[in-house]
Amino acid sequence: MVRQVEKPFQVKYMRENILRHYINRNKSISWYPFVRKIGENRLPLEMDLILVENDTGTGVGYEFKYLDYEKPWKNYYNLYKGLDQIFSYFTYGIDQGWLIIGVSKKVADQISEKLIEFTATIESHFKATKASYVGLHIKYDDRTFRILPVGVNNTLIRLPIKNTLVQRDHDNIVKGNLSKNQTWLLDNHLPILM
């Protein structure tokens, strides 16, 4: 379940980063916020956003976390929980995943050291495994702190799918056969299709 403070961050990121990225590349997309069901498969977690690149059939999952807790351990917990969630998306047919982290001004100084440590660990993992199917974008208010893998501009490779159940979910995602929350998109002045 998305915390209320994460929703405005998610809307802003979708509008200013994701939408702009696809408009600038003249790409057609379908996107589905807060997915709880893919085909007949009810998910044990809610996926914050699934986006389908209509021309390639690529399913991209986005997990949004906004760090604003006064107790630092809660922010660290949320950070690692987001990482766990984005990796779990791949078991449900997603080809690529992005963990999007927003950092509130009120806690930025308090957690910056841990955030640097976190990104260094993730970056070394990306280098060691050459994992370019998952990305990390950290934003302090309106400024980008870090995008991983380094040099990636919202372009990742697809994770090869081998399992038939994962392939079935992937096919349902590409067909748009999943729970839809289009009212939320309209309420936030975001297009349903592009």
pLDDT given for residue 155 in this prediction: 59
- Residue type present at position 5: V
User: Could you list the pLDDT tens digit for every one of the 194 residues in the chain?
Assistant: 556 778 899 999 999 999 988 888 888 999 999 999 999 989 998 999 999 999 999 999 999 999 999 898 998 999 889 989 998 998 999 988 899 999 998 888 888 888 888 888 878 877 776 666 778 888 887 777 777 665 555 556 677 766 888 899 999 999 999 988 888 999 998 888 76
Torsion sign (Cα): 139, 88, 41, 159: positive
* pLDDT value for 139: 86
What count of other Cβ atoms lies within 10 Å of the Cβ of residue 182?
Answer: 14
Q: What is d(CA 7, CA 60) in angstroms, rounded to the nearest whole number? A: 19
- CATH 3.40.1350 corresponds to the domain 6-187: yes
d(CA 50, CA 35): 7
pTM value is 0.89
Annotated domain spans of the chain: 6-187
Angle between helices 72-88 and 105-129 (to 10 degrees): 40
Q: Which pair of tokens denotes residue 163? A: 């399992």
Residue with the two structure tokens 């697809």: 158
